[in-house]
Structure 1
């Protein structure tokens, strides 16, 4: 099938050449798909003009589109690093680890800010370009899938930025709390502004809901989103917003499309990388592939926080699949040094379990917990939970969320949300060279500073820390 569409309208060509020259430099730096670049005779005047071109921009998966932030993973308290290990880290990482007020030094490139906004830029280039194409005779389903993918990527980037650079969502104050810059155009000359947190989350939800209507049920590859990914991400977003009714709704609808769990009894606990490589061997539990952009955890000087490690029963296979006997992190669903940061079926069961527990529906909450755990324990050793006390059920669910979803870039958001409830608030503590460091519940340091050059360039408000 010929997917070439008509070229961009002449009145837009000059502007697009400017935007896409920037994009071309980014693509070259981040290994944008080679076949796309090689077909352009004049790379200084690169202008996407067919669906293949737009898809190629979104398929820059290994360095741009399928990478999620990592500062939260260093800061979330689930792992500890020895003094010797910290001595060898960049100052920025030591600052993140000890929750310093000033994280960045003068040489810092704030990857967790710039990479998501690169994703937003790519998505906006595609969305702007699709508006300028004449769809007569086009492959409509593919056009819709590409548009839906761009909306999904943009929403995911905005969501990830909000977890680090905006305060935790609170419905009572969201319309008065600064959000993040929500850029909806690819024109880099438009100055960034900060709207409210309510505006930020409204845009995230709107993008995802539109994406869900456009995408196929499942992406043709794990690096591409489908309806299942859009619904799963909506469940995650609504959970962060403490809208548990909507979180349960979208978790359930996502599970209608993807519900298979891996039986951990089929994996080799003695292996250095026990899980299959998802992009070559597949993983039926994975809905959408992303990697947390750091190998910080995969060092001999890093071990699981002792209370977390000891919370796994010896018959719980996760203890040996996720960690070595000494507590070093093995990696999980990516089968690599990089943690998995995407979406998977187990998270959906656990989101729905929490939603059920919060409305005192112990039976359904524990049904979802038991569904997951029977696949995680040695065959014949797991005794299903039968607790009836609502508070106890909710605590069980929250404990299992931490144990199941370790090192997925989620713990930081969970802490930000749960710390608002005194029943679950925790103060994180760490030590380095004899000094003790504490991050109290609800501390302003749960929101990272916006990079200084962004403040000076756009004049947006800095976060208080």
Structure 2
């Protein structure tokens, strides 16, 4: 199936970027897409359209453990992990950088569907519109990650003048493209999703790897939150929760595997519930793990583990302290498929909680805390659980952010949120750690919060130009 899909993509690119004579020349053993099923098949190949690797954002946050032996080698990962502002990350990023290539590969597939599925055969108009709507939401998910990785964070006052990322909307490999502003990119993603909703994006999608109506609302809530447009973020969070408001009971999961979890010498993998059937899913999308096979939970540093709330059943069920030779860390004990790049009800609850806190009157944060606790009560062990309380906005944001950073670890969201809070200045949480007796810090103003484009993109920009958004 993968071979067929790759050939389909290649020959479709030839078809639509060359002369019409190719319409009459179908290579032996190959297939040119004509039916809607041909185009929809592209959405099912998760390797080419369903990955969201953001490893260097995870390393910068120190959310993902990097071994001592790896730290002895000067790489892009090492520079980010050790917050080395003297390192030239542009030079270090001289090889394939998965965030850029995987996401633009997904965008290329979406462009192919959006541009050519309108003439697909063997379908109704509504079926055709549905597949195109899926592609528009997926394209927006990809662009949101890219702009929050390679460009400076959104600032209403400067976004229209801030250089963003290449905006590519054509499936033609020779089509011109432009590196648009951050504002233009955000406007584009919002419009894409709203068009998908208007086209009749279904409440129940074909599969969980096809984003449903709840996913579209959740993505709009995420985008508007990143823009600090709390009114619209709350509006779409509520719409998403109307579609699905279920939360997984991690306390029940802990009880089910309690004996293995509490055995300090048992590192046998537990089946992760955060797979394709996770009840919190609006849309499933892989992160740094491959969709082609089951993988293990990523390891996290000890300092990162210490930022989880005491009694967090989700943490206790996913990681276990381990010391092997020169490495001490929390080893991932989960195994399976992980929705690190998609959209879930948990994220939407926490978006809603922050919006309610921002709009609270007379320092009454009770509704925001109740929304936060709807999540916490399914996570925190009963002997540790206490209802959340805040008397200031700073306290409310701190509590919400703690849960959100922990819940969405390994996704782009904690990185995007950190950049947003850094820009505001009021809710900054500077990062600090001690390594081999030396203290390291990452300031909110550090240029490292924006990642460099890979050398391949700069040197081979196609029919357009790309300028670096960082100096090194």
> Which TM bucket (shorter chain)?
0.7 to 0.9
Tell me the distance in 2 between the aligned counterparts of 1:20 and 1:340.
Answer: 38
C-alpha spacing 1:108/1:447, structure 2 compared with 1 (3 Å): same
Q: CA deviation at 1:287?
A: 1.5
1:283 aligns with 2:300: no
Tell me which residue corresponds to 1:348.
Answer: 348
In the TM superposition, 1:367-378 aligns within 5 A as: 367-378=370-381
Tell me the distance in 1 between the aligned counterparts of 2:272 and 2:355.
Answer: 29
Tell me the distance in 1 between the aligned counterparts of 2:43 and 2:333.
Answer: 26
Tell me the distance in 1 between the aligned counterparts of 2:176 and 2:437.
Answer: 45
Query: In the alignment, which of 44, 51, 68 is matched to residue 67 of structure 1?
Result: 51
> Any conservation in 2 of the 1:298–1:328 contact (CA below 8 Å)?
no
Tell me the distance in 2 between the aligned counterparts of 1:106 and 1:316.
Answer: 37
Q: CA deviation at 1:433?
A: 6.7
Spell out, residue by residue over 1:46-71, the C-alpha distance to the aligned partner (whole angstroms, 9 max, x if none): 4210010010011111x122211222
Tell me which residue corresponds to 1:330.
Answer: 332
Tell me which residue corresponds to 1:4.
Answer: none
1:261 aligns with 2:256: no
Tell me which residue corresponds to 1:119.
Answer: 106
Q: Structure 1 length as normaliser, TM-score?
A: 0.82
In the TM superposition, 1:212-231 aligns within 5 A as: 212-213=197-198, 214-231=200-217
Spell out, residue by residue over 1:331-355, the C-alpha distance to the aligned partner (whole angstroms, 9 max, x if none): 76xx438672211111110000000
Spell out, residue by residue over 1:352-387, the C-alpha distance to the aligned partner (whole angstroms, 9 max, x if none): 000011112512201111111111122465221243
Tell me which residue corresponds to 2:22.
Answer: none
C-alpha spacing 1:315/1:192, structure 2 compared with 1 (3 Å): same
C-alpha spacing 1:229/1:20, structure 2 compared with 1 (3 Å): farther
> Any conservation in 1 of the 2:233–2:352 contact (CA below 8 Å)?
yes
Tell me the distance in 2 between the aligned counterparts of 1:20 and 1:415.
Answer: 45
1:174 aligns with 2:173: no
1:83 aligns with 2:87: no
Tell me which residue corresponds to 1:245.
Answer: 231
Spell out, residue by residue over 1:290-319, the C-alpha distance to the aligned partner (whole angstroms, 9 max, x if none): 121259x9689x43342x423444432123
> Any conservation in 2 of the 1:299–1:328 contact (CA below 8 Å)?
no
Query: In the alignment, which of 399, 402, 415 is matched to residue 412 of structure 1?
Result: 415
Question: Secondary structure, in 3 states, of the residue corresponding to 2:164?
Answer: strand
Question: Secondary structure, in 3 states, of the residue corresponding to 1:290?
Answer: coil
1:95 aligns with 2:92: no
Q: CA deviation at 1:41?
A: 7.0
1:320 aligns with 2:316: yes
Q: CA deviation at 1:277?
A: 6.1
Q: What is the Cα-based RMSD across aligned positions, in Å?
A: 3.0
Give the number of equivalent residue pairs.
424
1:448 aligns with 2:443: no
C-alpha spacing 1:431/1:378, structure 2 compared with 1 (3 Å): closer
Query: In the alignment, which of 270, 275, 289 is matched to residue 273 of structure 1?
Result: 270
Q: CA deviation at 1:391?
A: 3.1
In the TM superposition, 1:186-197 aligns within 5 A as: 186-197=171-182
C-alpha spacing 1:384/1:43, structure 2 compared with 1 (3 Å): farther
Question: Secondary structure, in 3 states, of the residue corresponding to 1:291?
Answer: coil
Instruction: Identify which of structures 1 and 2 has the higher relative contact order when contacts are C-alpha pairs closer than 8 Å and 6+ apart.
Output: 2
Spell out, residue by residue over 1:210-229, the C-alpha distance to the aligned partner (whole angstroms, 9 max, x if none): 11233101322111111011
Tell me the distance in 2 between the aligned counterparts of 1:162 and 1:106.
Answer: 17
C-alpha spacing 1:183/1:276, structure 2 compared with 1 (3 Å): same
Tell me the distance in 2 between the aligned counterparts of 1:371 and 1:416.
Answer: 26
Tell me the distance in 1 between the aligned counterparts of 2:140 and 2:29.
Answer: 30
Q: CA deviation at 1:431?
A: 6.3
Tell me the distance in 1 between the aligned counterparts of 2:99 and 2:18.
Answer: 23
Tell me the distance in 1 between the aligned counterparts of 2:373 and 2:27.
Answer: 58
Q: Structure 2 length as normaliser, TM-score?
A: 0.81
1:48 aligns with 2:33: yes
